[in-house]
Amino acid sequence: MTFAPVLHAEWLKIRTLRSLPGALLALFAVTTAFSALAGADGGSDPEFDPLFTALSGILPGQIAAISFGATAVSSEYHGGAFRLTLAATPRRGRWFAAKMTAIAVPALLVGLVTAVAALAAGRAGPGSAVDGLTVGEQLRGVLGCGIYLMLITLFAAGLTALLRSGVATLSVLIPFILVVSFVIGDAAGTVADFLPDKAGQIALHQTYDGTLGPWSGLTVTALWTAAALLAGGWSVRRRDA
């Protein structure tokens, strides 16, 4: 079977498994809502960054992106589904590439739409401070947000393929992002800039200090993601179904 029908089959799985469109809808709703709340309240902060405030809903919203990536892969390991998949697509590498593509494309598209909506919602609160953002800064924020969400989704997908458990992936990534990353960030200084979440989120800031910039930060996140995908791909190719 060639790549196109395998990709089509994987896309059908994502469309028909209710929890997956639900996770993308939650990503949009949570990110937009929290950005609106932050925008209504952020202008009084002396360290106010209008771009990050407008896009700050991505911090809780990324949990839905992680859930989307983890669930899309972990569904293969329930009820013997992976054996059926391999019976239809014996070439595991081709299947894995199609699976990751079917995950990446909607994550990127929903991420871009979410970023535009979050920016619009965030602009409703701070007023003139956000109005001062240049077109280039807003475009960079939207593109960076969409790319970051796609990368963090694929990072979760690759880790799930390695661990063969969505629960294990969520148990690792969600506490890491919500707790560990902040603790390490406060204690480790610039080293924290190279963590997968913090590196990618630099693109959401209007101003930034430290070793990395917006695109180099996204590159670091992409390297973490590539490592997770390589590990996940190895697991798919080498371990029994």
pLDDT digits (tens, 9 = 90+) for 73-94: 999 888 777 888 888 888 889 9
pLDDT at 188: 56
Q: Quick one: what percent of the chain has pLDDT higher than 70?
A: 89
Q: Quickly state the pLDDT bin for 189 (edges 50, 70, 90).
A: low
Q: Which of 210, 169, 31 is nearest to 198 (CA)?
A: 210
Q: Quickly state the pLDDT bin for 68 (edges 50, 70, 90).
A: very high
| CA-angle at 71, arms to 172 and 31, nearest 5° | 80
Task: Determine contact, residues 185/210, Cβ cutoff 8 Å.
Answer: no
Please enumerate in sequence order all residues whose Cβ is within 8 A of that of 5, keeping only pairs 6 or more positions apart, or say none: none
Distance CA(204)–CA(213), nearest Å, equals 10
pLDDT digits (tens, 9 = 90+) for 3-50: 888 999 899 999 998 899 999 999 999 999 998 888 776 555 556 788
pLDDT at 105: 97
Q: Which residues of 37-72 are buried (b: 16+ CB within 10 A; e: fewer)?
A: ebbeebeeeeeebbbbbbbbbbbbbbbbbbbbbbbb
Query: Cβ atoms within 10 A of the Cβ of 139, count?
Result: 11
Looking up tokens 């063969």 gives: 164
Distance CA(155)–CA(149), nearest Å, equals 10
How many angstroms separate the most distant Cα atoms in the chain? 60
Query: How confident is the model over 155-182, as a mean pLDDT?
Result: 90
Is it the case that residue 152 has pLDDT exceeding 60?
Answer: yes
Chain CA centroid to CA 200, Å: 10
Better-predicted residue by pLDDT, 183 or 140: 140
